[in-house]
Amino acid sequence: MKTLYFALALATLLLTDCARRDRPAKTPVVETVRTEDSPTPPTAARDLADVMTSTLSLRPDQTLQVRQILNQLTADANAAQQKYPAGSPQLKAEKNRLVAASENSLKQVLGPVKYKESLAKRKQMYAEMQQRAK
């Protein structure tokens, strides 16, 4: 009886071990390091819009418009990075122009009170956005 029990236990152990080997190995998580000239991920605009919505208590129509502005800024900035060499004066000028245009658009969408509040809470919002990205 003990031999039968031992044989069944050994068979169970071997079968479950074989089943484990047949499973695909987990893909290791690789963290990427973003540099200044890395393209901005498309999720960054969505994440920042979500943080702005919760921090500034934006209305749904404001959230939609902010998301559109930030998506356009991300797309335009990435296109500029493809067009101009990294660190070039042209790239810097184009990015400054894009940021100024998006700030003007945000000012119109948010209104003067919420826009000032967004400037005051900008560091907090960026920190929260980075926490969400982790």
pLDDT value for 26: 58
Max Cα distance, the chain (Å): 85
Predicted TM-score (pTM) above 0.85 = no
Q: Where are the domains of the chain?
A: 43-133
pLDDT of the chain, 134 residues: tens digit per residue? 444 444 455 445 444 444 444 555 555 554 455 566 667 776 777 888 888 999 999 999 999 999 999 999 999 999 999 999 988 999 999 999 999 999 999 999 999 999 999 999 988 888 887 777 66
Report pLDDT for 134. Answer: 66
pLDDT at 47: 83
- Residue 68 and residue 46: Cα distance in Å, rounded? 9
42-71 b/e with 16+ CB inside 10 Å = b? eebbbbbbbbbbeebebeeebbebbbebbe
Structure tokens at 71: 């998506």
For position 83, what pLDDT does the model report?
93
